[in-house]
Amino acid sequence: MIGALAVNIAAVLTYREFRKIPGTKRFAFVLTSYGLPVLVLAGVLLVSRVLYSNYVLWTGLGFGAFFMLLISLFQRPGAGRILFLVPGGRTRELADELVHESTQFLQSPDQLAIAEHGAVVADLHQELSPEWERGIANAVIHGIAVYNVKQVRESITGKIQIERLSENSFGALVPSHSYFIIKRLTDVVGSLLALAVFVIPMALIAIAIRLTSPGPAFFRHRRVGYRGRQFEAYKFRTMVSRENDDHDLESQKTANNDPRITPVGSFLRRTRLDELPQLINVLLGEMSLIGPRPEALALSKWYQEHLDFYEYRHVVRPGITGWAQVNQGHVTELEDVYVKLQYDFYYIKNISAWLDLLIALRTIAVMVHFRGAR
């Protein structure tokens, strides 16, 4: 009973954190929230060899999951609410971007009363007329939810508009150092376990590459990583063997249906298995399991010259997978990388164990459905 109660509490807290992250559905992560707590409980029971009742344990967990699903069913879905927009500032840009959301512009402060069952969005950093200021204050007094356009855009799209460096909830530009320590420990343990599990598949992949294409099985490539330091990233070779020029911009780009990609390499890219050797980089402290994608030297220099604040993404360790990778996939052109940078900034601002766990789950879905690869 104590174990089932602990798992249910942990699952509820996990689910609440998942719901705060953009793109999560009401029911999608109810059962997923039970995964890690159940594994921890199973480990405790196995090690302690405490006698327990399967009936009591699974009945407790089953009822807990059932009531979470039931509560989610009757919860007011935040994503389905109408957003009533106050004219002025960046609300027009928000309406143009949120094509899948229900939005409606208010014509006068008197109409704020109709927002009782929705939410009001205003650009609170812009100069509003005294009438709108009084109307918004009155709406808040009467319990109507009012949000700033900046927070609404971030919470729905999972991106940060790049106009200036964006601080986290504590007002700092550098992410939490305490979580960095936890994240590093997780990286070391996770990469060691992953290497133990995948050592035989990795050996088979290496043999398949050598048998089907002349050249080495592994590909080493100079990348820009944590705090702007260069490092040598390891991957399985997915293209025909060639002399690599780290400073040649065009050769670093991968096009759709790139003729340099081998048949085995195409499969490895679609399933993301070509990234497995980067577990070595994680152990060496050059990468993390989750973080912004490390870019090639030539590409990184090109992006830094054309995109404001691009180098800020180096404030955290680059990752094998990340928020931009699971939302957007592989891109190289400036317009797409600008969008990718907005995802990276969102990750840096909101970095947490919950966001990392969600990215890990979405990575599994990406690998299964072959999304976003080139």
DSSP letters of 5-34?
HHHHHHHHHHHHHHHTSTT--SSTTTTGGG
In the DSSP assignment, the letter for residue 276 is T
Please give the domain boundaries of the chain with CATH numbers for all domains: 2-75 (no CATH), 79-157 (3.40.50.10700), 177-369 (no CATH)
The predicted pLDDT at position 236 comes to 94
The predicted pLDDT at position 172 comes to 54
Q: CA–CA separation, 295 vs 229, rounded Å?
A: 12
Q: CA–CA separation, 1 vs 325, rounded Å?
A: 40
Enclosing H/E stretch for 184: helix 177-212
Q: CA–CA separation, 235 vs 219, rounded Å?
A: 5
The predicted pLDDT at position 285 comes to 94
Tens of pLDDT, residues 18-65: 766 665 655 566 777 887 788 888 888 888 888 888 888 888 888 888
Tens of pLDDT, residues 165-197: 555 544 456 677 788 899 999 999 999 999 999
The predicted pLDDT at position 170 comes to 46
The predicted pLDDT at position 186 comes to 93
HSE at residue 100, side-chain half, CA atoms within 13 A, is 5
Residue 349 burial class via C-beta count within 10 angstroms: exposed 0-12, middle 13-18, buried 19 and up: middle
The predicted pLDDT at position 41 comes to 86
Q: CA–CA separation, 273 vs 238, rounded Å?
A: 10
The predicted pLDDT at position 251 comes to 67
Q: Comparing C-alpha atoms, which of 135, 284, 280, 266 is closest to residue 195?
A: 280
| Residue segments in the chain with a per-residue pLDDT below the cut of 50 | 77, 79, 169-171
Which amino acid, one-letter code, is at 300?
S
Q: CA–CA separation, 142 vs 363, rounded Å?
A: 43
